[in-house]
Amino acid sequence: MSLKLYYASGACSFVPHTALELAGATYEPLPIKLHRGEQRTPEYLAVNPRGQVPVLVDDGEVITQIVAIAQHLDAKFPQAGLLPASGMARTRALQTLAWMNNTVHPTFTHVFMPHKFTADEAAQQAVKAHAVETYRGLLGEIETLAEKASPWLGGDKPGVLDAYALTLLRWGGFAGIDPQTLPKTWALAQRFAALPAVARVIERERLELNVYKP
């Protein structure tokens, strides 16, 4: 059995990266430097023609998309409890995971990479400004979820929802959103970051948890 994860520091690949560590998996971490355009090299495009991280390779099978990778790892390492095992708790967790991935995450893409949505530089500034406000509201929804965490977003075990919440909150700092204005999410992120498995990922990715600059 061989597992490889292509990841980029601070990117959404933090979610499967921490999932692998929480599960105690043996895997090969393969860093991709997005700022150097390594996701667009012929070698990487041969792995993922969409030029994105994360990519999980399980015994030669290339798996993309966080929602699919999370479910794959959850099925492979059921003892880790990366997602609730069954019932309505699992349904709700998948609902939140899909929303984080298909709504919150792409909103941040409008903040961070407005050039993906228009070539017009003035329009890029408008796209970014509008997306920051939308993003603030979406983080507010995560704050409501964090208020109900017991003690983690998926229930009694830390898992992929907590990893995604940390990532999205951290990105908020780049958008000028102080994580401490979202105290429940900030506390959850700090608690999650302190877990030894997560701390290993933070160290490997050389992440600063709070990137907000007033």
Ligand X SMILES: N[C@@H](CCC(=O)N[C@@H](CS)C(=O)NCC(=O)O)C(=O)O
Q: Which residues bind ligand X (CB under 6 A)?
A: 11-12, 34, 39, 51-54, 64-66, 101
- How does DSSP classify residue 103? I
Contacts for 211 with CB less than 8 Å, ≥ 6 apart: 170, 173, 174
Token pair listed for 164: 């995604």
Question: Are 18 and 198 spatial neighbours (Cβ–Cβ below 8 Å)?
Answer: yes
Find the residue with minimal CB distance to ligand X. 52
Q: Which is nearer to ligand X, 173 or 191 (CB)?
A: 173
Q: Considering the complex, what minimum distance in angstroms separates the CB of residue 214 from ligand X?
A: 25
Q: Which is nearer to ligand X, 39 or 96 (CB)?
A: 39
- How does DSSP classify residue 118? -
Q: Which is nearer to ligand X, 16 or 181 (CB)?
A: 16
Token pair listed for 152: 């983690």
Q: Which is nearer to ligand X, 17 or 146 (CB)?
A: 17
Beta bridge pairs of residue 30:
6
Contacts for 212 with CB less than 8 Å, ≥ 6 apart: 172, 173, 176, 177, 178, 179, 180
Token pair listed for 147: 């208020």
Q: Considering the complex, what minimum distance in angstroms separates the CB of residue 69 from ligand X?
A: 7
Q: Considering the complex, what minimum distance in angstroms separates the CB of residue 9 from ligand X?
A: 10
Q: Considering the complex, what minimum distance in angstroms separates the CB of residue 82 from ligand X?
A: 15
Q: Which is nearer to ligand X, 97 or 193 (CB)?
A: 97
Q: Considering the complex, what minimum distance in angstroms separates the CB of residue 107 from ligand X?
A: 12
